[in-house]
Amino acid sequence: MREEKVTINLLKWLESQGWSIICHDFPQSGTGLMIHPNSNANQNEKNKGGIIPDIIAVRNSEAAYFENKDRFVKSDFAKLKEIKLSGNYSEGLNDLLKKYGVTKINYGVGIPSLTKEIDKSKEHLDGIDFLVSADNDGNIIIHHDINRIFV
Amino acid sequence: MNYRIWYSTEPFADFVINNTELKNKTFVKKKMYESDANNAKNFHTMPDHIKKILYLDAPDLIVEIDHEPIFSIEVSTEAGTGHNAFQRFARLAASVENNVPAFYIYPEAAIITRKGSPPQWDKINPLVFKALDDVMSIYKIPALLYYYPSDFRMHPADATTSPNLLTKGILHDTNRNYAGSPLGTDNEMLRMFDAINEIIAIFERTGIIKGREKLLSNRTLIDRRTFMNNEYVYKGGNLQMSPLSATIKVKTEYLLNYLSQFENQNYSIGELLRSREETIIYKVDALFRGDPYPGALAAIDYLLCREGKSFEERKYNLVIAWSDVELEDNAKTLILNGTKGKIDDFIKAVQASENKNILSKNYAQLENHEIPRYYMQVRYGSTYSKVKHVRVFSYFADAILFPDGSLWRDA
């Protein structure tokens, strides 16, 4: 399953669960919204440019920030951990979400429902808040949801 | 008739299929792999006639009937000021150079927020309409622009009043199955679907060869061409706009005198450059790089130089100079006094592409899955494995000048 299909299936599922989609992106879609680093961000190789979230959705006071792929990609987990812990994009993210009354942003990964990819992903959960997977029929499985935002 | 629909993103393919007569046809959808440079694993699996279209650059969608491409679509949501409107022009060229009608979906305006300024509309450079019309005159093949839906016409004076600031004022389809596609109910998209249906009907009724001849006399397509010409005038289009504002026309004698530094007893510049009295020079005083310059160079060719379907059929030589250019009238030569453009940057880009080739491997070193790719490269060399901007520059430019080195065609 391609990344675009993972993202589309997640968009449909999120909306069915009452989430509002703020932005989304997948390769060559042209829909992405770039979040620039804070003006005082510690510039290094990981954050010298902007980031384009694959999905940002909000429900109640929670926001979910998705990085999606067609397989397990270790660097995505490291990237999310960096974004979450460094706060280097907090200005842009807060500016984007201020009118939705969001009090917490949760960072996580979306991948296809393939056992091999899920098993590898589960070995790298320490830096992220959630891990979900999608199959071709649009079924979504929640593997990890530390703040129970998808309940 | 069997249709094949080659796509970059499947949601956009579904968007086009389900909004046109394609939905009633027998078709298969296929993922398109753009080049050997960016997808070494899969590009060699593309059919030869599709590879030819992809040689310059890859459109977002190609539709074919029984292995004959009948149209392509390129989509962009970028703001189209200055050079930017031409950034994707090589993709249109890729299509029409192979006699395949091209659709270009591009916003009339998009909202840009610059640091310290309120959001504002960046409007399309109307010269793109003239370039497309010249393409149609040269190839006798439709190259039609439809506006990517936006709320520009609802909020033209003040972008901050747009309810779609987050999407730059751009309107996407709300059906998630078409994520990333234009709003299908917008009038511009409805007109494009009509044109696509007309093209399908013409090709089905008269066949590919005769169909191509009939397209530009179809009333729906004539009306669109008229609309585009009106937009060029209404939006104040003129030949002093970017990228033409970065060009100069010189006597070819100046170019030949400049290149004479490379001549010696054993070599003199060949006949191609000498065959045209005058030369258009596109001045790019910047570090050597790709976008938006490859597309702009292609557009300049159609706007100023071309007289026929082949790049050999030009009224003027087309040269890109990675420098500012001054004329030295006493010696009748050129002075390139830029400091950014370096010939080695071009050479390094070529070498980096060449490193991806596998022709220097022994047979025993080839993995089984590499053999078809190896065999493709035996036939085509590095044709498809060079990066896009190197492919486009070397296709369109009769010469490429840097302050510290030059490349040129002899024939």
DSSP B157-207: S-GGG-TTGGGTTB-B-S-GGGTTSB-TTSHHHHHHHHHHHHHHHHHHHH-
| pLDDT band per the 50, 70, 90 thresholds, residue B53 | confident
Instruction: Give the number of domains in chain A.
Output: 1
Residue A39 Cα to chain centre, angstroms: 23
Q: Is the pTM of this model over 0.80?
A: yes
Whole-number CA gyration radius for chain A: 14
pLDDT tier for residue A108 given thresholds of 50, 70 and 90? very high
Report the C-alpha gap between A25 and A10 in whole angstroms: 12
Closest by Cβ to B166, choosing from A7, A11, A23 = A23
Residue B282 distance to chain A (closest CA, Å): 29
- Average model confidence (pLDDT) across chain B: 94
Q: Within B10-140, where are the H helices? A: 10-18, 48-54, 89-96, 127-139
- Show the domain range for A96: 3-36+49-145
Domain contains A151? no
- Residues B340-361: tens digit of each pLDDT: 999 999 999 999 888 888 999 9
**Residue A44 within any structural domain of the chain:** no
Share of chain B above pLDDT 90, in %: 84
Residue B60 contacts A where some CB pair is shorter than 8 Å:
yes
Name every chain A residue with its beta carbon within 8 A of the beta carbon of B163: none
Whether residue A123 is predicted with pLDDT greater than 80 in this model: the reply is: yes
Mark yes or no for CB contact B9/A4 under 8 Å.
yes
Q: What is the mean predicted confidence (pLDDT) over B192-211?
A: 97
- Token look-up 């009118």 returns A99
- Dig out the tokens for B37 from the structure: 């440079």
pLDDT, one tens digit per residue, over B151-169 is 999 999 999 999 999 899 9
Q: What is the pLDDT of residues A36-45, one digit of tens each?
A: 898 866 555 4
Per the domain annotation, does A41 fall within a domain? no
ipTM summary value: 0.82
Q: Decide if A53 contacts A97 (C-beta within 8 A).
A: no
Angstrom distance (rounded) from CA B236 to CA B368: 58
CA distances from A72 to A29, A41, B38 (A): 21, 28, 21
We report the CATH number of the domain holding residue A134 as: 3.40.1350
How many A/B residue pairs have CB atoms within 8 Å? 45
The total of other beta-carbon atoms located within 10 Å of residue B208's CB is 16
Does A46 have pLDDT greater than 50?
no
User: Chain A partners of B10 at a C-beta cutoff of 8 Å?
Assistant: 2, 4-5
The enclosing H or E element of B354 equals helix B343-354
* Distance from C-alpha of B378 to C-alpha of B381, rounded to nearest angstrom: 6
pLDDT in tens, B257-306: 999 999 999 999 999 999 999 999 999 999 999 989 999 999 999 999 99
- DSSP character for B112? E
Residues A56/B36, Cβ–Cβ less than 8 Å: no
Q: Does any CB of chain A come closer than 8 Å to the CB of residue B84? A: no
In chain B, domain spans: 2-234, 244-343+389-408
Contacts of A11 in chain B (CB under 8 A): 176, 179
